[in-house]
Chains A and B, each alone.
Chain A
Amino acid sequence: MTAVARPAPDSRAQGSRTRRSLLPGDQPLALLDRDGTPTGQDGLSMPGPDVLLGLHRSIVIGRRFDAQATALTRQGRLAVYPSSRGQEACQVGAVHAMRSQDWLFPTYRDTVAVVTRGVDPVEALSLLRGEWHCGYDPYARHVAPQCTPLATNTPHAVGLARAATIKGEDTVAVVLLGDGATSEGDTHEALNFAGVWNAPVVFLVQNNGYAISVPLAKQTAAPSLAHKGIGYGVASQQIDGNDPAAVYAAVRAAVDAAASGAGPTLIEALTYRIEAHTNADDAARYRSSAEVQDWLARDPLLRLENYLRAAGLLDDGRAAEVAAEAERTAADLRDRMSAEPRRDPAEMFRHVYAEPTPALTAQWHEVEAALDDERDGAGA
């Protein structure tokens, strides 16, 4: 048997990716500290006034939307609502950093990101209202359906980004995931494919400390979630995820890098979910109110407002305008959600295949006949 020539050890050990730092720094990158004072750190560029005011407006509107959705759930208008209150810097910062041609791959907790991207709020809530699994057209705003099986949207983002490269299109995919999802195999496969393909994709991990009730310490022994990038040759950063300026700057830089051919980035954003996992969860069973209070003091909206006021960019008048706009948006949502949801049983059968099969058509006719009987009975 002939010996197979083996590559020299160093040629296998040396990765192809050395252009950007694959390891996060010792401290999370931040532009604004918890009081809104500029940190003066290197590594991220402070966005301009218009960007910061835009972030402020969307965070105010997004938080009001989130509160309205929680209220609608209490009223029985939504089946369930996973709140992202406290995570608005990530929800809004990431979306504002994207260009119109880029694609967002959200999870069920990212409805604020979805509406910030411009999806109609009623269509966005179709899933949680129990009306249809995805109520909006993903192609209209380049927003993939909100993904419920965690981490399974990560390879989709990589594939879409890879297809853009193959087609010669300037499109970057931004995929949202949480700390729990980093334990799923799909996350690792997606990071690996992204690294091998040098795909234009940004992984934004919103590390809010808990996967429902399981704290990060039980999720990983890694020094940080951002350390998971280096094993796949993916540049990684850890940032303060409650700093809207930092999230915007980091995602924007990662989008620019991806668009310029520099490949994928993994960003771990440290944040906190102020509400329970959903309305059906009891967070008091796994975390203390002191911890929640501490995170309330790091509120992303408060720190951005403090900075904008100190910089003379925001006054009471503008703040009141934005608040009034948020109220109008919430009132509109409340009104529209009080209408009965659309319910068309024929739709269950219509979109299983491109053309309904004879068997599905027969099943629909059975349902239709039962509905007719019901109507006739009611009319009799």
Chain B
Amino acid sequence: MTGLADHPAAAARSSAPGAAPVSMAAALNQALAGALAADDRVLVFGEDVGVLGGVFRVTDGLAARFGDGRVFDTPLAEAGIVGTAIGMAMNGLRPVVEMQFDAFAYPAFEQITSHLAKLRNRTRGRVELPVVIRVPYGGGIGGVEHHSDASEAYYTHTPGLRVVTPGTPADAYTLLRQAIDCPDPVIFLEPKRRYWATEAAALEYDARAAGDLATARVRRRGRDVTVITYGGPVATALEAAEAGAEDGWDLEVIDLRSLAPFDDATVTESVRRTGRAVVVHEASGFCGYGAEVAARLTERCFHHLEAPILRVTGHDIPYPPPKLEEYHLPTVDRILDAVARLQWDDEPDTHA
């Protein structure tokens, strides 16, 4: 697996050249520590997040530093974790809870969709629930079944939730700090296959400088095609852009960061400029997040488009066993193949 920082494009754009390399897991850990230190109302809890420091070690050392009154293990019950977090937030605290893996968050789905997402609306804004649900998500780590789901669309389809996913360590730090500060509930999806990728970054949080949480970033400027992606495949798309450059394609890569709300302005501007777009994600394509992106872009950029918007996604299958996942996850080759099919010579795309 190639880490993001291995890419010249990523390294060159690093937020702090000369700063020490930091992994995404370490950046998330520092974000939690920073939030716990900055605000007494912040709590961190979930399964194995205390003494163990989380199965991915994202909460490593936090219980020792902040005490088990603020960082603690709970019973193994995800609906209970999210349900009690809702009650705590009603009483003025700011819980940051961990769902151990994507597919293990499903027992909490009712609490998330029926209550966490809706209580502000139900009470005309009187009940505010600043809860962050951290979900290590997606594949690429050789996990056995139920450990690799890309579950974003379940949450993005639910009004009232913010859904955020970082693609780089520096973003992981800033986005998590912003999510904890946010008055809305945030589903914070951590692409677990990028936990150990490093980037030279000085991790400092300035709420004002961080800007709007719902802002996409152009990771690589390009003229020919806009590749729109998020989370785990951000690094894959940047790799594809480097490889594509050798074939003469100049790809622009957008990292959405915030899946809900969606940053129409940044993405629309890019696609109107390039005239072509490919959406890349790990989750299954059918009714997937990319369908929404393609529809929005068609509505907003129709007269600028030179070709239909294509999607490179996981197949419409249950997540495969680890020995087969390389055939499921979007790859550099699949992204470049989609780019090649964008009707450069007025030939209709026979794949679509």
**Stretch from A10-18, A59-67, A136-144 that touches the partner:** A136-144
The distance in angstroms between the C-alpha atoms of A227 and B274, with both chains bound, is 67
The distance in angstroms between the C-alpha atoms of A347 and B123, with both chains bound, is 11
Q: Is A164 interfacial (CB-CB < 8 Å)?
A: yes
User: How many residues of A are in contact with the other chain, CB < 8 A?
Assistant: 41
Q: Is B111 interfacial (CB-CB < 8 Å)?
A: yes
**Which one, B79, B87, B92, B121, contacts A133 given CB within 8 A?**
B121
Instruction: Report which residue of A171, A351, A358 has the largest number of chain B beta carbons within 10 angstroms of its beta carbon.
Output: A351
The distance in angstroms between the C-alpha atoms of A134 and B179, with both chains bound, is 27
User: Which A111-139 residues have a C-beta within 8 angstroms of B?
Assistant: 132-134, 137-139
**Stretch from A155-163, A244-252, A272-280 that touches the partner:** A155-163
Question: CB distance B162 to A193 under 8 Å?
Answer: no
- B74-113 vs A, CB cutoff 8 Å, 1 = contact: the mask equals 1101011011111111111100000000000001001100
Q: Is A37 interfacial (CB-CB < 8 Å)?
A: no
> What chain A residues lie within 8 Å of B121 (beta carbons)?
133, 351-352
> What chain B residues lie within 8 Å of A189 (beta carbons)?
75, 77, 79-80, 83
Known: A139-B126, A159-B90, A359-B261. A353 touches B83 (CB 8 A): no
Q: What number of residue pairs across chains A and B have CB atoms under 8 A from each other? A: 137
> What chain B residues lie within 8 Å of A138 (beta carbons)?
90, 123, 126-127
Question: CB distance A164 to B91 under 8 Å?
Answer: yes
> What chain A residues lie within 8 Å of B84 (beta carbons)?
155-156, 158-159, 162, 190, 193
Q: Is A365 interfacial (CB-CB < 8 Å)?
A: no
The distance in angstroms between the C-alpha atoms of A170 and B341, with both chains bound, is 66
> What chain B residues lie within 8 Å of A173 (beta carbons)?
87
Question: CB distance A192 to B80 under 8 Å?
Answer: yes
- A33-64 vs B, CB cutoff 8 Å, 1 = contact: the mask equals 00000000000000000000000000000000
Q: Is A222 interfacial (CB-CB < 8 Å)?
A: no
The distance in angstroms between the C-alpha atoms of A145 and B261, with both chains bound, is 26
User: Which A141-187 residues have a C-beta within 8 angstroms of B?
Assistant: 144-145, 149, 152, 154-164, 166-167, 171, 173, 185-186
> What chain A residues lie within 8 Å of B90 (beta carbons)?
138, 144, 156, 159-160, 163
Instruction: Report which residue of B85, B119, B122, B127 has the largest number of chain A beta carbons within 10 angstroms of its beta carbon.
Output: B122
Known: A161-B87, A186-B80. A166 touches B123 (CB 8 A): no
The distance in angstroms between the C-alpha atoms of A353 and B84, with both chains bound, is 21
> What chain A residues lie within 8 Å of B184 (beta carbons)?
353-354
Known: A189-B83, A190-B80. A145 touches B88 (CB 8 A): no
**Which one, B77, B92, B126, B264, contacts A167 given CB within 8 A?**
B92
**Which one, A132, A139, A156, contacts B124 given CB within 8 A?**
A132
**Which one, A156, A160, A193, A358, contacts B115 given CB within 8 A?**
A156
What's the minimum C-beta distance from B17 to chain A, rounded to whole angstroms?
34
Question: CB distance B83 to A155 under 8 Å?
Answer: yes
Q: Is B350 interfacial (CB-CB < 8 Å)?
A: no
Q: Is A211 interfacial (CB-CB < 8 Å)?
A: no
The distance in angstroms between the C-alpha atoms of A11 and B188, with both chains bound, is 39
Known: A133-B121, A134-B122. A154 touches B83 (CB 8 A): yes
What's the minimum C-beta distance from B45 to chain A, rounded to whole angstroms?
10
Question: CB distance B124 to A347 under 8 Å?
Answer: yes
Question: CB distance A352 to B75 under 8 Å?
Answer: no
Interface of A is mostly: helix
The distance in angstroms between the C-alpha atoms of A173 and B125, with both chains bound, is 22
Q: Is B114 interfacial (CB-CB < 8 Å)?
A: yes
For B70, give the chain A residue with the smallest CB separation.
A166
User: Which A316-375 residues have a C-beta within 8 angstroms of B?
Assistant: 347, 350-354, 357-359
Q: Is A253 interfacial (CB-CB < 8 Å)?
A: no
Known: A149-B110, A193-B80, A352-B160. A163 touches B124 (CB 8 A): no
Question: CB distance A353 to B79 under 8 Å?
Answer: no
Question: CB distance A152 to B85 under 8 Å?
Answer: no
Q: Is A196 interfacial (CB-CB < 8 Å)?
A: yes
Instruction: Report which residue of A171, A353, A354 has the largest number of chain B beta carbons within 10 angstroms of its beta carbon.
Output: A353
What's the minimum C-beta distance from A211 to chain B, rounded to whole angstroms?
18
> What chain B residues lie within 8 Å of A160 (beta carbons)?
87-88, 90-91
> What chain B residues lie within 8 Å of A352 (beta carbons)?
120-121, 159-160
Instruction: Report which residue of B86, B91, B183 has the largest number of chain A beta carbons within 10 angstroms of its beta carbon.
Output: B91
Question: CB distance A359 to B264 under 8 Å?
Answer: yes
> What chain A residues lie within 8 Å of B77 (beta carbons)?
189, 192-193
For A353, give the chain B residue with the smallest CB separation.
B184
For B123, give the chain A residue with the smallest CB separation.
A134
> What chain B residues lie within 8 Å of A357 (beta carbons)?
214, 261
Q: Is B18 interfacial (CB-CB < 8 Å)?
A: no
The 4 closest A-B pairs by CB, nearest first: A159-B87, A155-B83, A159-B84, A189-B80
- Contacts from B to A (Cβ < 8 Å): 43, 69, 74-75, 77, 79-80, 82-93, 107, 110-111, 114-115, 118-128, 159-160, 162, 182-184, 214, 261-262, 264-265
A sample of 30 cross-chain residue pairs with beta-carbon separation below 8 angstroms, ordered by A number, consists of A132-B122, A134-B122, A138-B126, A149-B114, A152-B83, A152-B114, A154-B83, A155-B79, A155-B83, A155-B84, A155-B86, A156-B84, A156-B86, A159-B91, A160-B90, A162-B84, A162-B88, A164-B91, A166-B43, A167-B92, A167-B93, A185-B107, A186-B83, A186-B110, A189-B77, A351-B120, A352-B121, A354-B120, A354-B128, A358-B261
